[in-house]
Each structure stands twice: as C-alpha cells, then as structure tokens.
Amino acid sequence: MTTAQLRTLIVDSDEMSREVLRSKVQRAGLLVDLERPHGLVAQQTIQEMEPDLLFVAIEQPLQRALQTVDFARAIVPDATIVAYTADWSPMVERRLMQSGVNDFLHGNISSSQVSAVIDRALRKAAASTVPAPADTGARVIAVVGQKGGIGKTTTSTNLAAAIAQGGRQSVLLIDLDTRFGDVAIMMDIAAEYTVSEVAREVEGLDRETFRKLLLRHDSGACILPAPRDYRSWLSCSPEQIQDLVRFAAGMFDVVILDTPGTFNDVVAAAVGVADRVVVVTSSELSSLKNTALLLEHFSLKGLAEEQVIVTLIHGHDQEGPDRADVEFAIGHAVDHEVPFDRNVRKATQLGAPVVTWRASSPAAVVFARIAAHAAGSPDSLNALPDAAVRRRFFGVFGSRKATSHDPERREIAV
Ligand SMILES: Nc1ncnc2c1ncn2[C@@H]1O[C@H](COP(=O)(O)OP(=O)(O)OP(=O)(O)O)[C@@H](O)[C@H]1O
Ligand SMILES: [Mg+2]
C-alpha cells in the first residue's frame, strides 16, 4: 500500500486550521482527498468515501465533533481516525480513547507527528487488506459485541473455564478489552504482567518466559490480563497484538480473546487472527442494530459463515423480543441463546465463571455448549438444534445486507 492508495479526509469546521493541517499532511507526502466541516455533510462524505485515514478536529461544540468520531468508527471500523485539537483535556482524551480513535494529537502539532500517524495508517490499511488467519493448529476464538455490558466477558471467561476444565485442551484467555479489562476481576486473580507489555516484547519472547508471565485460574485456564490504564494500549500496535496471539496459538490448543464493546483496531486485529468469532448480542434495540452492522461488516470482510457463532444473551430479567424477532432484526440465525440466570450474577460477584461455580445452572449449560461448538468442529451439533435450518433460511451469512444507502444503517450509526 502506498500513500496514493490511502483515501484521506479532514473534518474541521475552521478553514485556517484545516489549511495548516493539510499542508503538514502534504509535506509528509500524502494528498488530502477531501475536506469537510463537521455535521451532516461530513457524515455523508464518510459514508460515500469510506476513508482509510480520517483527521477529525475536536472543536466546540464538542458533542458534534465526538459525533463525527463515533459515526466514522461505526461506518469505517478499519479506518485510522486521528483526532486533533489545540486544547488538551483529560476528559476529552478519555472519551476519544473510548470512541476508538487511533491517535490523538494536541497542542502544537509537528510535521513529524503527522508523518508518524500516516505511517501507522499505511501499515494498518495494508494489514487489513491481507486476511491473517492463525497458521497453527490452535483455535483462536474472538468474543466480540458492539455494546458494553451485554455479556462478552462473561462469555469469554466461561468459555475458557469450560474448555480448560474438560482437561483435554490447554486454554489461554487474553483480555483485549482496551476500555475496562475485567477478565482478571471476573476470575478473581491479580494481574502482574499485562497484554500491552508482553505484546511490545513479543519478538524476543521464548515459550518458557511467556508461560511464566501468565496467570493460572483454578479451572486450569491461563490468563493474560489487560492493562488497567488505557494509555498502555497506545504503546503496542495491533500488529504486535496479532503476533502475540499467533505466538500463543503455537503453545495452547485454544486461545480466547475478550474484546471491548466498541469496534476499534484492537478488535479488528483480534478478528483478523481468529478462526471463530463469537458475536454476542443482547435483545435490546441498540445492541441489535449494532449487531446487524457488525455482521454486515464481517460479511464484507469475507468471514466464512461457519466462522461466526451468534449468541443471544438475556442478561436482564425483562420481557424483550424473542429469538425469532432478534433473528429478523439482525438478519442472521442465532446459534445459541443464554437465558437470564441469577447464578451468573452471583458467580460474577464471587469472581468465578458460572460453569465452575454452578455447572448445572441454565446459563452454565449453554456456555458449555458454546464452548464445545467454538472449540470443536465447524459442523458441530452443539448449536441450538434447529440452528442449521435457520441458517439456511437466512441464506448466506448476512443476508439482510444494509448498504451504505440504507436509511436504517444511517439511523444505526448516528
Ligand atoms: N445470562 C445472564 N444472566 C444474568 N446476568 C448475566 C447474564 N449474562 C451476563 N450477565 C451479567 O451482565 C453483566 C455484564 O456482563 P459482562 O461484563 O460480561 O458484559 P461485557 O459485554 O463484557 O461488558 P463490557 O463491554 O463493559 O466489558 C454482568 O454483571 C454479568 O453477570
Ligand atoms: Mg467485558
């Protein structure tokens, strides 16, 4: 990939500030394709152009600028988003990191900073065009979901414990949640070394040292926790994370990746090396809309039908849409349905996966089934009994494809 192939957009309502940035970008050897002020026109351009590199000015009104970032992250999840501002504030930085920006430039922005972000964008764009499946015998399972609090970490920890306590397969759970990183808490263990430190050193790592850095859970699963400070994530690249996962996959039978509720480059990296992707959704409207978008994205990225395992989790004791409605809304069959189960809550409070704490509880039984499905053969019979039929009914993966001109997609993303 060369700079010429990098579609670049600047969103900035201030003409002068736009000009200053444009000249720095051009000095770094990259032509800016389009420039837009914040607001609807910027959103429309993002949809139509699907930029690889997007510079977003963080200016007043702040809400509007943040809306541009959130919109871009949903529409072009693989793009490099660079936020920039003259005024730095910790609150804004934190919010931007949560939105999944790749870089945040503030103060007097130097040309070398701009060159560095362009280099990173080039590497990222090149990596995303080459699918990087794990090339070892291990099965890498990424657990993803486009919303917070829907049960991703509950699923990851239960899958890890269920597979490990079976005793036949070695398991490593890597916490890639760039925001909250709850795995260590949910499994009641204290972190010493974390993903970002290990990923930074992955090149010189040997198996023995790596094993010593890992935590061990009572179930037998090994854990590599997330750093508590979100800034640590900035010190390792998505490529280093992928290398770390591949390295781990050479040592363990199964590697499970827990991820945050926002699609950022770490999630893209996780999905890029995964053999299976467990897509977690709740039955809430906002979760369903985001799940539909996510499934569409996976379909466009060429993920095979059997790689994707859709799991509906009823994390609340409230009436909601049933499975058929959920399938209609996301345009995809639901492979597993985890019922609401107070034992899960209790287990979470005790710092134990429900599959080890109360293996016979309704949710634990389903988590064990998902574990067998995800770590087993592609045509596993562990999904809901009629899942294969329902998958055929929905046709090829992601049959209800919202296009970028689909009004509903616009509604989802805004
Ligand atoms: N089947 C279930 N029944 C009852 N409670 C559940 C169930 N599944 C998950 N929960 C509860 O939902 C809460 C959120 O779960 P979890 O932390 O796994 O979500 P998450 O998607 O990882 O969130 P985040 O994006 O914030 O990391 C937890 O308190 C968990 O105990
Ligand atoms: Mg989580």
Give the nearest ligand 1 atom to 348 CA: 31
Average pLDDT over residues 146-153: 94
Would you state the pLDDT for residue 236?
Answer: 87
Which residues line the pocket of ligand 1, CB cutoff 6 A?
A: 145, 148-154, 177, 180, 182, 260-261, 313-315, 338, 340-341, 344-345, 348, 363
Would you state the pLDDT for residue 339?
Answer: 96
Quick check: 179 and 258 in contact, CB under 8 A? no
The better pLDDT of the pair 330, 393 is held by: 330
Same fold, 3-129 and 139-413: yes
Nearest to 298 by CA among 321, 327, 332: 332
Would you state the pLDDT for residue 138?
Answer: 59
Give the nearest ligand 1 atom to 177 CA: 27
Which homologous superfamily does the CATH classification assign to the domain defined by 139-413?
P-loop containing nucleotide triphosphate hydrolases (3.40.50.300)
* Vertex 129: Cα angle to 408 and 293 (nearest 5): 15
Q: Domain-by-domain residue ranges, the chain?
A: 3-129, 139-413
Q: By percentage, how much of the chain surpasses pLDDT 90? A: 56
Average pLDDT over residues 254-266: 93
Question: Of the ranges 24-28, 69-73, 97-101, which one carries the lowest mean pLDDT score?
Answer: 97-101
Confidence class for position 410, pLDDT limits 50, 70, 90: very low
Would you state the pLDDT for residue 34?
Answer: 95
What is the CA(357)–ligand 1 centre distance, in A?
16
Average pLDDT over residues 268-297: 94
How far apart CA 327 and CA 44 sit, in angstroms, is: 29
How far apart CA 152 and CA 150 sit, in angstroms, is: 6
What is the CA(315)–ligand 1 centre distance, in A?
6
Per residue in 303-337, pLDDT tens? 998 899 999 999 998 888 999 999 999 999 999 99
Average pLDDT over residues 111-118: 91
Give Cα separations from 234 to 123, 227, 365 (angstroms): 15, 11, 38
What is the CA(258)–ligand 2 centre distance, in A?
7
Would you state the pLDDT for residue 175?
Answer: 94
* CATH number given to 3-129: 3.40.50.2300
308-313 vs 336-338, strand pairing mode: parallel
What is the CA(21)–ligand 1 centre distance, in A?
42
Would you state the pLDDT for residue 187?
Answer: 81
The better pLDDT of the pair 282, 180 is held by: 282
Per residue in 154-191, pLDDT tens? 999 999 999 998 778 899 999 999 887 788 888 887 77
Would you state the pLDDT for residue 337?
Answer: 96
Per residue in 346-390, pLDDT tens? 999 998 999 999 999 999 999 999 999 999 744 444 556 566 665
Q: By percentage, how much of the chain surpasses pLDDT 70? A: 87
Considering every ligand atom shown, identify the ligand nearest to the alpha carbon of residue 183 and give its number.
Answer: 2
